[in-house]
Amino acid sequence: MVSSANQAAALADAVRAVGEQLIAANPVELAVGNIVRRVLHIIKEEDISSTAVGIEGLSVTVDSDDEYDSEHDDRPALSAAVLAAHARNALRAPSLQTLLEDIPVSPAVSRTASSTGDSDGKSKSAGDKSSTRKLKHDVIAAIGDLIDEIDSCYEPISEQAVELIHQNEVILTLGRSRTVKEFLYAAKEKKRSFRVFVAEGAPRYQGHVLAKELVEKGVQTTVITDSAVFAMISRVNMVIVGAHAIMANGGVIAPVGMNMVALAAQRHAVPFVVVAGSHKLCPLYPHNPEVLLNELKSPSDLLDFGEFSDCMNFSTQDGSPLLNVVNPTFDYVPPKLVSLFITDTGGHSPSYMYRLIAEYYSADDLVVRRKATS
């Protein structure tokens, strides 16, 4: 049975074990690792909060120059040495010996506890159980808040649409993003009149789906090919796109073709705005070995195997086909091409992303790996 002092560490290790498996199952889905890190950060914060509450419950009895109050004669006092030991154990980086305990184990406290008999031992055991239950309750409640935050992230993002999209503007987007769709819906509901150019997002053509959804809401929509972005960008007031992930340096992993759109926007001085929930914030950098930036999809999205079978056979002299097909899923947009991020916490510049990430993640949880046991 795991003691109460190790409950937080054991819980964090269990989360890391599951997190490792989830990340390994789909390493391209960076949001999975983000959520695992957020949960680890929650466990650490709730544990530190619980320890701090234990310190506040302590009191020191000190003789003063005033007349001594006889009512305090029967109240047990803790020595300054015991309190100092408690403070050192509680305020240092989380330690397995201090986690979840109201009073840390120290020789002075042990001697005091042994002198008071079995009743104090039972009280200490009950306190440990109560502290453990409180930690679990607080962690579950915080994770519930995180789930609600993710589920409802579209609402605070969409509320900012009316401040960004003005009357008679032309918006360009690429492919299909639910966050972008809700953002444009919110602007339409506020009686904004605007037009949207939707680059179709070949070869999966998710832009066709978004165009249909926008038309159903009464938004004036024009579908263009991806290769027409440079030709149309001079008519555009703003580019609004979604993101697969936002990296620690402010760079964006987005659907393929997005870098081309960002370059066109920069060339014509058009603002390039990225809308995404805070769970898309990844504390890793693009060059980190844990980051798998891309995924190759089936060549059948591009070519008909029947029509091109003669070009793709392996009968050549060196055993390799004459025709190769590369079908990447994602693009990387460097931070210098991004004008603004719109998240559920407000609008931020790319250079501010590291501060948001510091609020959501702990530095020692960037690599999700179980702690080595001695």
Among the listed residues 334, 295, 348, the one whose alpha carbon sits nearest the alpha carbon of residue 27 = 295
* Reported confidence tier of residue 199, pLDDT bands at 50, 70, 90: very high
Residue in the block written with tokens 């509320």:
159
Q: pTM of the full predicted structure?
A: 0.76
Count of other CB atoms within 10 angstroms of residue 1: 3
In whole numbers, what is the pLDDT of the chain averaged over residues?
Answer: 81
Stronger pLDDT, 314 or 327, i.e. the higher one: 327
Among the listed residues 148, 137, 146, the one whose alpha carbon sits nearest the alpha carbon of residue 49 = 137
Domain boundaries, the chain: 154-360
pLDDT digits (tens, 9 = 90+) for 243-275: 999 999 999 999 999 999 999 999 999 999 999
Query: Distance (Å, rounded) from C-alpha 367 to C-alpha 288?
Result: 10
Instruction: Determine which helix (DSSP H) or strand (DSSP E) holds 94, and give its type and residue range.
Output: none
Query: Distance (Å, rounded) from C-alpha 101 to C-alpha 53?
Result: 10
Stronger pLDDT, 8 or 214, i.e. the higher one: 214
pLDDT at 57: 57
Q: Is the predicted pLDDT of residue 112 greater than 70, yes or no?
A: no
pLDDT at 321: 72
Q: Is the predicted pLDDT of residue 137 greater than 50, yes or no?
A: yes
pLDDT at 120: 56
Q: Is the predicted pLDDT of residue 374 greater than 70, yes or no?
A: no
Fold entry, domain 154-360? Rossmann fold (3.40.50)
pLDDT digits (tens, 9 = 90+) for 317-333: 666 777 888 999 999 99
SS3 328: strand
* Reported confidence tier of residue 133, pLDDT bands at 50, 70, 90: confident
Contact predicate 277/153, CB 8 Å: yes
SS3 166: coil
Q: Is the predicted pLDDT of residue 277 greater than 50, yes or no?
A: yes
Q: Is the predicted pLDDT of residue 73 greater than 50, yes or no?
A: no
